[in-house]
């Protein structure tokens, strides 16, 4: 499995939203339970500012994985690499650099 080694800009956000099954009963009662054994997977919104000459390498890396194949990435908030996929990566071109906005979704396989 490959590793995404580029470092994001400051300002990363993490969306923690456990996946839960809910059954609603009358009078406002509800029953909740985890949806699967790995129901606490995070999503990371990050931006990478890279030189224009390096943009093709980053874009190719993400395209080759195509939101299907996971890769290793180490969030700045941790020292432990996690498996993620990236489903979209819009790019904003400036004069000498490119900003790539990514949402990395943590996966188990």
Residues 22-64 have pLDDT tens digits of 999 988 899 999 888 888 999 999 999 999 999 999 999 999 9
Q: Point out which residues pair with 46 in neighbouring strands.
A: 102
Answer for the pair 71, 65: CB distance below 8 angstroms, yes or no: yes
The stretches of 1-109 forming alpha helices (DSSP H) are 52-65
Measured between alpha carbons, how far is 59 from 100 in angstroms, rounded to an integer?
9
Q: Please write the tens of the pLDDT for every residue from 50-108.
A: 999 999 999 999 999 999 999 999 999 889 999 999 999 999 999 999 999 999 999 99
Measured between alpha carbons, how far is 86 from 58 in angstroms, rounded to an integer?
12
């Amino acid at each position: 499995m490959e590793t995404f080694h580029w470092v994001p800009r400051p300002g990363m956000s993490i969306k923690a939203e456990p996946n839960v099954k809910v059954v609603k009963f009358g009078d406002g009662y509800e029953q909740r339970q985890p949806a699967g054994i790995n129901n606490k997977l995070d999503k990371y919104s990050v931006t990478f500012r890279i030189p224009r000459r390096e943009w093709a390498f980053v874009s190719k890396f993400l395209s080759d994985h195509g939101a299907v194949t996971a890769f290793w990435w180490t969030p700045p908030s941790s020292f432990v690499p996690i498996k993620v996929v990236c489903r979209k990566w819009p790019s904003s071109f400036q004069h000498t650099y490119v900003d790539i906005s990514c949402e990395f979704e943590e996966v188990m396989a």
